[in-house]
Amino acid sequence: MAKTISEIAEETGYSRTTITMVLSGRASEYRISARTQKIIQDYVAEHGYTINQTARNLKTRRSHTVGFVAPEIANPFFARFMASLEACCRAEGLVLITTSSGEDPALEVRALQSLMERGVDALVLAPCAPRPPASARKRGRRTPMVLVDRHYPGDSVEAITSDHRENARLLTAAVMASGAERVVFFCGHPDNPAIAERIAGFREAAGDGEKARVLTADDDSAAAGEAMMQALLADGGELPSALVCSSLLVLEGALQCLKQARSAVPPEMIIATFDYDGFLELLPNTVIVIRQDEAALARAAFSSIAAQIGGKPAAEGTRTIVDAELVRLNATA
């Protein structure tokens, strides 16, 4: 921690104020003489100085810090989102503090609590459970906050999400337009509102007859994908002509299971999923993907909290939709 302002003041013979002013770059504003500035600069160049942000934060009640609580940072979607959000923050001199809840509501609460105790200027949350109504939360200056990706009905905080329902509808429609007759949708974690919306969208496009089945699992993982595929295979009968998955993890598990059971993924099966992975391009199958725009989501989330930090009253219950892209790989194959 090198020297403190007091020490520098002591040792150069100037007052703390003077030192503060030149170190914070407001020397001219306070008309510190060039000579004084130089003396102080030189002293610092020699002895070093790292500001103690803790003390500064305590005094100014700003931490120049934004908290982000992700359900699972190992999920590439959130990793990319985090990278974009961090870039937004850095551009404004803010530091992003990322934490993950592991999809555990109790951990989510603890993470939020911990970030607030540390005085973050704003919070970005991808919730894994509905939050208690505002009235139940303790009063006091509430920290600016924005929800991303997921939105539980009734939450009054602004949410930035993709239109999961519409995207699922488009994806499913594209699958059917490619000639699929029997379509199966594998869903991890249907309690998650994003997933629930995807199911709704799937139903809109595919109907709910015999030829459009939805299988669900308790969580969003490769194991869940495997389990659903096993259930499907156990049913006997022929494979569907298209497989739609709610996430890359589920897809991965499902395809691995299929490969084990049938020695290969049938190349004529249409594969559809949310989120992009480069290796999908290598499959011989037609692959259709909804690719969310993590950078745009991050920008939207950031501009919301920036506005709130700037004093703009939070837009209660607003929901902002960010467009996603429908990508078709191997369309020519």
Partner DNA sequence: ATGAAAGCGCTAACAA
Partner DNA sequence: TTGTTAGCGCTTTCAT
Choose the contact partner of 246 out of its own copies, DNA, none; CB within 5 to 8 A by kind: none
Which residues lie across from 162 on neighbouring strands?
322
Interface contacts to DNA, rule CB under 7 A: 1, 4-6, 13-18, 20-21, 23-24, 30-33, 35-36, 51-52, 55-56, 58-61
138 binds, among its own copies, DNA, none (CB under 5 to 8 A by kind): its own copies
* Shorter beta-carbon distance to DNA: residue 20 or 256: 20
Tokens of 262: 């049938």
In angstroms, the CA 19 to CA 5 distance is 7
Burial 288-315 (b: 16+ CB within 10 A, else e): bbbbbbbbebbbbbbebbbbbbeeeebe
Quote the least distance from Cβ 36 to DNA, whole Å.
4
Q: What's the rounded Cα separation, in Å, for the pair 32 and 21?
A: 8
Distance of closest approach, residue 56 Cβ to its own copies, in angstroms? 9
Q: How many CA atoms lie within 13 A of 140 on its CB side?
A: 7
Which listed option, DNA, its own copies, none, makes contact with residue 231 (CB within 5 to 8 Å by class)? none
**Residue 146 carries which DSSP code?**
E
Residues that bind its own copies (CB under 8 A): 1-3, 47-48, 50-55, 57-58, 63, 65, 72-74, 76, 79-80, 82-83, 86, 90, 95-100, 107, 113-114, 116-119, 138-141, 222, 249, 252-253, 255-256, 259, 264-265, 277-284
Comparing CB distances to its own copies, the nearer of 56 and 203 is 56
Q: Which does 20 bind (CB under 5 to 8 A by kind): its own copies, DNA, none?
A: DNA
Q: Which residues of 47-79 are buried (b: 16+ CB within 10 A; e: fewer)?
A: eebeeeeeeebeeeeebbbbbbbbbbbebebbe
The pairing of beta strand 287-291 with beta strand 325-329:
antiparallel
Instruction: Output 15 or 318, the one with its CB closest to DNA.
Output: 15
Q: How far is the CB of 83 from its own copies (least distance, A)?
A: 5
CB of 200 to its own copies, least distance (A): 28
Query: What sign does the CA torsion over 109, 113, 116, 118 have?
Result: negative
- Residue 24 interacting partner from DNA, its own copies, none (CB closer than 5 to 8 Å by kind): DNA
CA gap 97, 99 in Å, rounded: 7
H-helix or E-strand spanning residue 122: strand 122-125
Residue 159 touches which of DNA, its own copies, none (Cβ within 5-8 Å per kind): none
**Residue closer to its own copies, measured from CB, 283 or 321:** 283
Considering the complex, state which of residue 196 and residue 227 has its C-beta at the smaller distance from its own copies. Answer: 227
